[in-house]
Structure formats: structure tokens, C-alpha cells
A and B are shown apart, each in its own frame.
Chain A
Amino acid sequence: MERISKDDVEYVAKLAELEFEEKDTEKFTSQLDKILDYVAEISSVDTGDVAPTSHVLDIKNAFRDDEPKESLTQEAALKNAPDEADSGFKVPKID
């Protein structure tokens, strides 16, 4: 059974901000179909009223006190920026 079509892959790629060449879309579709076909076996597991895991350990809401602390300087934060202007990250026109 086909679980995922070329259109699905194109749609999901768009959601993930990725684009592929035609031949790659085809390769990915067939590989992903195989993977999804394999993992779909879990649909047959009876999970009844079993709760989904949210954390493997008993940790909840790890908050610290709301006190200001030293953080990265603006200069350090911008050091890896591909492009910057006026002490901010510069990006192409927002469409």
C-alpha cells in the first residue's frame, strides 16, 4: 500500500521549508513510503487507556527564580550572523 505520495512529500517539504529536485522527490517518496509502512505497525498495538509519555523521569516544570542574569552580549550574539544591520540580524525582504 502507498502511504505517502509525491504530492504529500512536496506538501510536507513546504511545511518544513525544504525543496527538492524532481528526481530527489521521487527517491525520497519511495524511501519514506517504506519507512512509514514499517513504523505504521504500531497502529495494531492495543494501547487502551495507556497515557502517552511526556517525560521519562519524574520532572515537572523546572523553573528557576525570575532573577535577571548575565547573558550573551549583543556583539557575541551577532558574531555568527550571515548579515547584520543596526545591531540586528538582517534578512532579505519579507514576502
Chain B
Amino acid sequence: METYYLKAHELKEKLIKKEITCTEITGDIFSRIEEVEERLNSFIRLEKERALSRAEEVDSLIAGGGRVDDLTGIPVAVKDNICTMGIKTTCASRILENYIPAYNASVIERLESCNYILLGKANMDEFAMGSSSENSYFGPVKNPWDIRRVPGGSSGGPAASVAAGEAVCALGSDTGGSIRQPASLCGVVGFKPTYGMVSRYGLVAFASSLDQIGPFTRDVEDCASMLNVICGYDENDSTSLNTKVPDYKSFLVPDIKGLKIGVPKELMVEGVDPEVKEKVFNVIKLAEDMGAEVEEISIPNLEHALSVYYIIASSEASSNLSRFDGVRYGYRNADAVTLREMYRKTRSEGFGDEVKRRIIIGTYCLSAGYYDAYYEKAQRVRTLIINDFKKAFSKFDVLLSPTSPTTAFKIGEKIEDPLTMYLSDICTLPVNIAGLPAVSIPAGLSGDKLPIGIQIIGNILREDNVLRAACSLEKAIGFTGKPEL
């Protein structure tokens, strides 16, 4: 049996019934990794020995009557911008090639406390900047459904690993769609929680007002299990929400009778593939059949979302990435004679092109004479977008849209044209601008056998509606496809 394709809740049952051991689960996953990793490049670093010895410890705990929680003994891939104590955390950048964190991110501490198994650090776009996972110092990630295509990004490694059976679950980060878009392109579930629900402590910052950590899983139930573990207040993150964390699994009720679903017409227009649109219409039909009330809605200021996003994200990035100066950690140019020369050579040699582009745009937008016209203006339009969403959620419980306007595109297809690449996040980035929770679930395959995802967006802290809609539609869609590798 292909245990590496089982879901976490299925493995939990088997662990409880003693039909399988954690060592077997982990061993099977590593055999799978050895079989396919060369073709996919999902990981920057594997931690096989550590994982197997941890698995043995977990087996002894279970044998000794220890509790089997939802993620106990479950092999997880972690995006390489999340700090793991004693294990290199590179952000797929040359500048952090040798960085070994002295502490764990808070999400890692939370996973440790339920005895998960860390498989390794997953590949990504450098500093999470990109939509294709081609901007990695360690080479591009390939889509398991067609290795000539991108897996999406920036969390391409986490998405590909879960889709290919190289991990049961994964952790990623989402600044403008970096969890949902690759989940869509790889045919898995990807969730971005409400801003502030998951601590960002130990997540290497890209755009602090937009970044949020979230899970990749093979179904919505596992997604809720992951949320139960990673969500919660953390005093080490000043933007962490001090609010009660619900039991996300309690929202997995496959019943959407009477649920009000809005379909923003601004996310269904030009640039969206006819095949993708068709899938969204299919899902709308399924929702209606289940008794949901679906209606088209206009969110007029969404047309400015891409501009607002790139100004704000780049501005925050230019500020956040100023810490990489070769002084305290990471790469340093060894030949520089003066401090300033060292800064400049270190940063110029350490960062890749996309990172440099965003630093330049951000620095420009924040510089004297341009701040008001770009950065402050963007923050004002951001308020308008937030207000538009508030209005939409006074009428609707959730919003439904494509996750990505297209299926997975070819490696190299968009890399020379940044603006076209940015457009792949057009449906996902409005969610980050407003701090909303949203999920991408698989809606089926295109004619050429590539996954298509749909996005379900909820109001602030209304993960309940998102999960209820997601588990209902997941059941109605019945997607069971797996890539042929």
C-alpha cells in the first residue's frame, strides 16, 4: 500500500490501532522522496537521520501509552523561511546559505509539542518573492503533475511535496497567495488564516503586514488539524491576536444549506482561462444543489489590488531586508576593505534579481518625494479595499473565486516579464491586503490533466464559514486525482 499518500487522520487511526509505526510511515516517505525528489527539487535540505531517530522516539512514546494527537508522528515539510533551531534556514537565498537559527519559530515549537516529524526544509522563491518557485538559489521546483511546469509559488516546495507524496502535510507562508496559488497548481489544500492568528515569530519577514503562515494538506480535515496546532496567541509577535482559538475541526460540517456565497465579478474577468471559469461555474452549481444561495457581487476597488499590493509589499520588503548586511549572520563578501563596500558587495552578490527588483521598487516608493504618491496613497486605497470587503461580508458568508487565473505554466515562460508573473496572484492578493482567511481546494483537472483550484474567502476570524464551505464542496467535488510520477 502507498502509505505515503495517506492523510494525517488516516495515519492517526492506524497508529492508534497499532497497524503501523511512525518509523514505518517516515521510512516510506523517505523511500518516496528518494524515488521522485531528483525530478522535483521540492526540498533544499532533508533531515532523514534526525527524522528517523525522532520517529523511533515517538514510537516508544506511543508504545508507552503516550497520547496520539492529530499530528503525532506525522511527517511534515517546512518552508525554508521558517526558523528551525540548529537546522539551516536559507530562504532559498545565497545571503542565508549558511544561516543556522539559534531558536525555533513559534509554529515549530507548537508542532514539536505534539511530536510531529520534521522531514526537511522545503524549496521556495527567494525570500518568498515570486509565483513560480523559479527564483530559488537552489534551483527551481517542478510541478509533480508535469515536471516541465512550475508548481506555483512562492511555497512551491511545500505544495509539490504534499502533492507528490513526499510529505503528508507542509507549512508555508502566504504574503499575496504564496500558499493558495501553489496549492491550486499542485492539486492540494492550502489555507491562509486570518492575519494575526498564527505567530510570525521566527518567520523570516518579507512584508510584515501581509505575511501569514499556513498549512498544506491533502484534505480539509487535515487542514483543520494543522490549524488547531499552529493558531494561537504568542507574546513574541506584536501583531499576534489575543483571542480564543476555536476547535477548527468542529467546523467540518458538510452542510451549506442557506450559506450565502458571493462571486466577485472582478475575479472572473479577463485573464482567467475559460477552463478555470468553467470549473468555478461547476462548483457554483454544486453549491446551489446543496442549498447554498449564490449570487454575483461587485467589489469595485479590487481592480486596484495588484498596484496596492506591489507598492506595499515591496516597501515593507525593502525595509525588512535591510537587516541582511553581512554583519551578524549570512553571506559576507570577504574582499571588501571598507564597511560600506562590504554592505554593497554582500547584498549585491547575496540577493537574486527578483529580490533586488523589489528592494528597488520599495526603496523608490518610500523615498523622499515619492512616499505620498505611492506608499501613502496605496495605504489609502487599501482602506477602500478593506471597506469593500466589509460591505461584501455584511451580505455574504463567504466569497468564491478561482485561486489562480491559469493552470500551471511552463518553467521559464514568465520569468523575464515580472508584471505578467505578478498577475498570477491577482485572485489571491486582495485577501492579504484585508487580512482575511481563505483556502484553496482542488476543483478538478483541466483537459491536459493539470489541477485547477477554487478559492473560498471568509470575513476576519470567520474560518468557521470557510472550513464549512470547503469541506462541503470538497465532498461534492470528490477530487481524488494524483500526479503520475
A interface residue numbers (CB < 8 A to B): 4, 8-9, 12-13, 15-20, 24, 28, 31-32, 34-36, 38-43, 45, 47, 50-57, 59, 62, 64, 72, 76-77, 79-83, 89, 91-95
Q: Separation in Å of the B315 CB from the closest CB of chain A? A: 11
Complex CA–CA separation, A4 to B422 (angstroms): 20
B308 within 8 A of A: yes
B360: chain A residues within 8 A (beta carbon): 9, 12-13, 16, 18, 28, 32
With A39-B374, A52-B376, A57-B195 as contacts: A18 and B348 at CB distance below 8 Å: yes
Indicate if the CB atoms of B327 and A89 lie closer than 8 Å. Answer: yes
| Given A17-B325, A35-B361, A91-B339: A51 touches B367 (CB 8 Å cut-off) | no
Interface extent on B, as a size class? 35 or more
* CB pair B383 A51 closer than 8 Å: yes
Instruction: List, sorted by A's number, 28 A–B pairs whose CB atoms are closer than 8 Å.
Output: A4-B364, A8-B364, A13-B360, A18-B348, A18-B351, A28-B356, A28-B357, A38-B307, A39-B378, A42-B307, A45-B381, A52-B376, A53-B380, A56-B434, A57-B196, A62-B239, A62-B240, A77-B102, A80-B100, A82-B329, A82-B331, A89-B327, A91-B327, A91-B342, A92-B341, A93-B339, A95-B339, A95-B341
Q: How far is the CB of B174 from chain A (nearest CB, A)?
A: 14
- Among residues of A, the one whose C-beta sits closest to the C-beta of B238 is A62
The reply to whether B330 and A17 contact each other, CB–CB distance below 8 Å, is no
Specify which of A32, A52, A64 is in contact with B380 (CB 8 Å cutoff): A52
On whether the beta carbons of A39 and B310 are closer than 8 Å, the reply is yes
**Inter-chain residue pair count (beta carbon < 8 A):** 171
In the assembled complex, B338 has its CB within 8 A of some CB on chain A: yes
Report B-chain residues with C-beta under 8 Å of the C-beta of A8: 364
Does B286 sit at the interface, judged by CB under 8 A?
Answer: no
Q: Which of B225-272 contact A (CB under 8 A)?
A: 235, 238-241
A90 vs B383: C-alpha distance when bound (angstroms): 45
A83→B332 contact, CB < 8 A: yes
Per-residue CB contact flags for chain B residues 318-330 toward chain A (1 = under 8 Å, else 0) read 1000100111111
Residues of A within 8 A of B99 (CB): 80
In the complex, the answer to whether B363 meets A41 with C-beta atoms within 8 Å is no
**By CB atoms of chain B within 10 A, which of A16, A18, A36, A52 has the most?**
A16
Chain B residues with CB below 8 A from A59, complex form: 196, 238-239, 241
Q: How far is the CB of B246 from chain A (nearest CB, A)?
A: 17
CB neighbours (8 Å) of A76 from chain B are 102
Cα-based distance from A42 to B309 in the complex (angstroms): 11
Q: A17, B347: Cβ atoms under 8 Å?
A: yes
A50 contacts B310, C-beta separation under 8 Å: no
Q: Check B328–A42 contact: CB distance below 8 A.
A: no
CB of B481 within 8 Å of the partner chain: no
0/1 per residue, B94-110, Cβ < 8 Å to A?
00001110110000000
Interface secondary structure of A, over-half rule: loop
In the complex, the chain A residue whose C-beta lies closest to that of B340 is: A95
| B343 contacts A17, C-beta separation under 8 Å | yes
Q: Choose among A35, A47, A93 the residue that contacts B381 (Cβ–Cβ < 8 A).
A: A47
Closest to A79 in B: B102
Q: Which 6 A-B pairs give the minimum distances between C-beta atoms?
A: A56-B435, A52-B379, A80-B329, A82-B332, A95-B338, A39-B307
Q: Is the CB of B308 within 8 A of A42?
A: yes
- A18-B348, A35-B419 as given contacts; A50 in contact with B460, CB under 8 Å: no
Given A20-B348, A42-B308, A89-B328, 19 more contacts at CB 8 Å?
A15-B367, A16-B363, A28-B357, A35-B419, A36-B364, A42-B304, A42-B307, A42-B381, A43-B377, A47-B377, A50-B383, A53-B380, A55-B239, A56-B386, A56-B433, A77-B102, A77-B328, A82-B327, A94-B338
Q: How far is the CB of B229 from chain A (nearest CB, A)?
A: 22
CB-defined contacts of B445 to chain A, threshold 8 Å: none
Complex CA distance for A53 and B383, rounded to whole angstroms: 5
Interface string of B356-390 (1 = CB under 8 A from A): 11011101100100000110111111111010000
By a CB distance below 8 angstroms, the chain A residues around B337 are 92-93
**Which B300-322 residues have a C-beta within 8 angstroms of A?**
301, 304, 306-308, 310-311, 318, 322
Q: Smallest CB-CB separation from B325: which chain A residue?
A: A17
In the docked arrangement, what's the CA distance between A34 and B343, Å? 28
Q: Kindly provide the distance from the CB of A87 to the nearest chain B CB, expressed in whole angstroms.
A: 13
Return B197 CB to nearest CB of chain A, in Å: 10
Query: Is B344 positioned at the interface, with any CB of A under 8 Å from its CB?
Result: yes
Q: Which residues on the B side are within 8 Å of A50 (C-beta)?
A: 380, 383-384
